[in-house]
Amino acid sequence: MKPHTILLALDSPEPARRDVKLGTETTLLASFAAAHASDLLEAIDAIARRSPFRHMITPGGWAMSVAMTSCGAFGWVTNPSGYRYDAVDPTTEQSWPPMPALFSALAARAASASGFPGFSPDACLINRYQPGAHLSLHQDRDEQDLTAPVVSVSLGLPANFLWGGQKRAVRPIRIPLWHGDVVVWGGVDRLTFHGVSRLADGEHPLTGALRYNLTFRKAR
Ligand code: MD6
Ligand code: FE
C-alpha cells in the first residue's frame, strides 16, 4: 500500500461503519439518514425561522449549553418547575411548526428497521450544539407512553454519546455518533441514562461548526 493510501483512509472523516447493537433493544444505524441530510437541515432552518433555537433554563436555574427547538404536535420545554411537553411554544406563544413528512417517515423507517414497527412520533426535539456544548447524563422520562422508542438522528459535527445504565451511578461508555447516524432505543433500554460529551471544535461541510440532533418521541 502506498503511503498516500493510508493517509487518505485516516483523513476520511467518516470511516465505513456497521450497524451496532448498543443494548438489547438499542440499535445504532450507521449513516442511516445521511442521504437525506441536506433536506433535513433545510427543514431545520425553516422550523427555526418560526420557532427559534433558545437556551432553556433548567429547574436548577442554569441556561442549557445546548440550544433547542421543537416541531410536531408537542415540544419539550423546561421552566422553573420542571420539564414537560407543551402544544404551545412559550417563546412564540404559537403552536410548534408541524413535523415535516420527511421527518416522521424517516423516524418510522428507522424504528421499523430496529424492531419497533408502527412508530408514529408526535414530538421532535431539535438540539443544536456549538463547540463546548454538552448534555449531562439523564433519562428520557417525560413521555406518557414509554412503550414507544426514541429515534435519534445526528447531523453535522461528530459527538461522543455517553451511554450508561439503568442507574445514574453506572459509568457510561462513549460511542461516537457521526453525521447521518441514527440511534433507536426502546423497550428494556428505554430509561437508560445517557448524555453527550462536550462538542469538540471542528468544521462540517454542511453545518459548519455545529452538530444537530433530532429526537423523535411519542409524548402523549
Ligand atoms: C443528543 N440525545 O444526541 C441528545 N435521548 O444530542 C438524547 O438525549 C437522546 O439521542 C434519548 C434517546 C436518544 C438520544
Ligand atoms: Fe435524551
Q: Which amino acid makes up residue 104?
A: S
Contact 60, 52 (CB under 8 A): no
Please state which of the ranges 4-13, 92-101, 114-123, 157-166 shows the lowest mean pLDDT: 4-13
Query: What is the CB neighbour count within 10 angstroms for residue 68?
Result: 19
Q: How many CB atoms lie within 10 A of CB 124?
A: 29
- Over residues 188-199, the mean pLDDT reads 97
Conformational region of residue 194, where left means phi above 0, alpha means psi within -120 to 50, and beta covers everything else? beta
pLDDT in tens, 46-105: 999 999 999 999 999 999 999 999 999 999 999 888 999 999 999 999 999 999 999 999
Closest CA to 121 of 190, 220, 218: 218
Residue written as cell 439503568?
166
In whole angstroms, what is the distance from residue 164 CA to residue 66 CA? Answer: 20
What is the total residue count of the chain?
A: 220
State the cell numbers at 48: 427555526
User: Of all protein residues, whose CA lies closest to atom 6 belonging to ligand 1?
Assistant: 213
Reference 146, options 106, 189, 103; nearest CA is 189
Pocket-testing residue among 194, 196, 217, ligand 1, by greatest number of atoms within 8 A of Cβ:
194
Pick the range with the lowest mean pLDDT from 12-21, 50-59, 73-82, 129-138: 12-21
Which atom of ligand 1 sits closest to the CA of residue 195? Answer: 8
pLDDT for 80 equals 81
Residue type at position 172: P
**Pocket of ligand 1 contains residue 27 by CB under 6 Å:** no
DSSP line for 151-205: EEEEEES-EEEEE--SSTTSPPEEEEE-TT-EEEE-GGGTT--EEEPPPPP--BT
